[in-house]
Amino acid sequence: MARILVLDDDIPTRQFLRDILEKLLKHTVSEAGRVSAAVELAKGGTFDLMLLDLRLPDGTALDLCKALDGLKIAGDVPKWVVTGEKPLDWDAALWAGFGVRGCLVKPFPIDTLVSIVNECLGKSKT
Amino acid sequence: MPGKIQDLTRARTLLAAWESVSLRTKVTLFLTVYIAGTIAVVSGVVLHLENQRVLVEARGEADAILRDFAKTLYGRWNPLKPSPENRKSLEESGIRDQFYNKPNIAYSAFQDSKGRLLYIPRRIPTFGWILDRTTIDAVTRRKLAITGSATRTFYDEPEGAVVEYLIQIRGKNEKPMGVVRLGLREARIRHTLDESTRQTLWKLPLLIVSITLVSALIVFLLAAYLESPIRALHLRARQLLGDKGDSRDRKDSLAQLHQEFEGIEKMVQGLKQNRTELVGTISHDLRSPIQSIMGYIYFLRHGGAGPLAPEVERYLGLIDENAEHFGTFIDNVLDLVRLDRNRLQLQMVPIAVPELVQKSVDLFRPKAVKDKLKLAVAVEPDAASAVGDAGRVLQVLANLIANAMKFTPSGGTITVGAVNREDSVELFVSDSGPGIPKEKQALVFQEFYQVPDTDPARGPKGLGIGLTLCQRLIEAQGGRIWAEGEPGKGATIRFTLPRQKVSVG
């Protein structure tokens, strides 16, 4: 049982992620559709994994990372960016500084998502 | 400067006015002026030639009279003096009368070799004038002695120029005896000719005008007949361009039609470009929904909604397969759009070809078992390393294998292999399907192209972008891709990758 934060402005995406992560993998999911809401959720509790959409109505995943970094919370929580289009100028080192492990480009096989989740949680537990 | 601007404005106004003239009027105007001009020039030339001919004829006539006269008198006119015998001989010859009857003859006279006047026919108005010139000048005399033929001299007379014809008369011993002088009023001939020309010229404008009118009518009808398809084209072009246009625009201007066709050309090019863009945009928006579908298929198949009946499981498998297909399609389209926008980054690294081929084949093992297809690997044992983006080459191989499997009926074989070439490594995927006709082998790489009359053995027909993407990806990596095979004997798609240079030492 782990706590996972899903940040995505697309409701169906949040829904299916919640269903898979909660009902199938038995984790707890908190959803946010905006960067500000995600910051509030992070302030209110601890998370074991964050799945972040790249572009949101009030900012980007990077904005969230920077905001959390400013608040000195969730810096070491493993994070994955889930997006339709991986940025051309994807700077792995910059993202890694905020705990972002990689970028998952839609449409991805669910097996990939499951193994990523298991890997992150396994590592966070050790 | 204001003058220049004024000129320019005037020129523009004129140009606009000319533009506003309808095509049929223009054509009619051009051809009418051309026809009228041609008639006028040809008539002028014909008239001039006719005048010349008449004049030459008149001169020839005078020459002939004199020559006849000289022949008659030859050796007979002796002694040369005004005597009843001579007069009689002249009258008998009948030649004298010829001079009276010709209105164009101004005068005629006979002189002995010393210049003495011997005989003047009757009714010669210029008698006195001739007497003033009775002596033959030295030159004429010399000329007479030498040539003995008719010569011409011009005199000015109040009534107009007179041309004098002069002929020598010889005796039996060839001794010059005298001359006959004949004055011919060419001016009068000319006058007569001019008179007739003027009459003809009077008729000529009438002729020109009537011919011009008739031809103008014919040309106008012809131009109108030619103009209607231009108008129709113009309207159609306008419709195609979705442009109602300016009502002042000429509907028959060829220049405008040309412009419109250029517009259509641009539009077609734009549409071609937009086609990929549009499919790209759609695909972009389909990513999230297809992701959800894939998510819920996974959810159901992994017991998210409880145990499933076997047939539900089977149907879910089919949905999953199609969703995967859909996902691949979206990936391919988006890659094509990225290539179009130069937004695809390739990581060129050394590739171990045998391993990559094996990996691609392994991806399809479960599906091959399910579809009852044999998957064979035929890699040369010493296959060299290639240079390329391993992920992208795998994507190309996967596309080619999926394609081959789609078109190969159950029981068939798909062979994936690699061969060393001089500067490259050649990879291939061949199948035992229906094959591709020779003339279509180059076309299969075109965007949205479907080989006609070829249906896949299984799965959807596809949009015809998989091979296009393969081609673009291989070419981006410095390789070449082509199709081989014959109908009924299976298809082979081959592609090359640059061979890794082995550094010596």
- Report the alpha-carbon distance of residue B436 to residue B428 in Å, rounded: 15
Residue in chain B closest to A88 (alpha carbons) equals B343
Helix axis angle, B390-407 relative to B310-340, nearest 10°? 130
Domains of chain B: 75-183 (3.30.450.20), 254-337 (1.10.287), 345-498 (3.30.565.10)
The pLDDT tens digits of the residues spanning A37-55 come to 999 999 988 999 999 999 9
**Per the CB < 8 Å rule, is A84 touching B331?**
no
What is d(CA A56, CA A34) in angstroms, rounded to the nearest whole number?
6
- For residue B279, the surrounding DSSP H or E stretch is helix B254-301
What length is written for chain B? Answer: 505
Q: Provide the pairing of β-strand B374-379 with B386-388.
A: unpaired
Nearest-angstrom CA–CA distance, A85 and A68:
24
Say what the pLDDT of residue B162 is: 66
Residue B433 has phi, psi (to 5 degrees) of -80, -160
Using a CB-CB distance cutoff of 8 angstroms, which residues of chain B are in contact with residue A109?
A: 294, 324
Enumerate residues 6+ apart whose C-beta is below 8 A from A13: A53, A82, B288, B291, B292
Q: Give the chain A residue nearest B325 (alpha carbons).
A: A107
d(CA B453, CA B466): 19
Assigned token pair, A23: 């009902």
Q: With beta carbons under 8 A apart, name residues in chain A contacting B290.
A: 106-107
pLDDT digits (tens, 9 = 90+) for B356-412: 999 999 999 999 999 999 999 999 888 788 999 999 999 999 999 999 999 999 999
Confidence of residue A98 (pLDDT cuts 50, 70, 90): very high
pLDDT at residue A83 greater than cutoff 50:
yes
Paired tokens of B393: 């080459």
A53 beta partners = A82
Please give the structure tokens belonging to residue A67.
Answer: 């905001």
Closest CA to B419 of B388, B393, B382: B382
**Pick from A60-69, A84-93, B420-429: least confident:** A84-93
Tokens of A28: 């707890």
Sequence spans of domains, chain A:
3-125
pLDDT at B127: 38
Query: Residue for token digits 């984790």?
Result: A27
User: Is some CB atom of chain B closer than 8 A to the CB atom of A106?
Assistant: yes
Amino acid at B429: V
Q: What is the pTM of this model?
A: 0.58
**Structure tokens of A123?**
């590592």
Q: Is B356 exposed, middle or buried (0-12, 13-18, 19+ CB in 10 A)?
A: buried
Single-letter amino acid, residue B327: G
The amino acid that residue B382 corresponds to is D
pLDDT in tens, B297-333: 999 999 988 999 999 999 999 899 889 888 888 888 8
- CATH code, A3-125: 3.40.50.2300
Give the whole-angstrom CA distance, residue B409 versus residue B454: 12
Low-confidence ranges of chain B (pLDDT < 50): 77-80, 122-136, 138-150, 505
- Opening angle at CA B424, ends B421 and B357, nearest 5: 90
The pLDDT score that the predictor gives to residue B186 is 65
Q: Which phi-psi region, left, alpha or beta, contains residue A99 (left: φ > 0; alpha: ψ -120 to 50)?
A: left
State the pLDDT at residue B122: 46
| Residue ranges of chain B whose CB lies within 8 Å of a chain A CB | 284, 287-292, 294-296, 298-299, 302-304, 324, 327, 330-331, 334, 343, 345
- Cβ-based neighbours of A123, under 8 Å, separated by 6 or more: A78
- CB-based contact B299 A20, cutoff 8 Å: yes
8 Å CB contact of B291 and A107? yes
Q: What is the CA radius of gyration of chain B?
A: 52
Q: Which of B422, B467, B418, B472 is nearest to B445 (CA)?
A: B467
Reported as a single tens digit per residue, the pLDDT across B83-112 is 566 556 556 655 555 555 566 666 666 666
Contact B425, B386 (CB under 8 A): yes
d(CA B334, CA B375): 29
pLDDT score for A28: 94
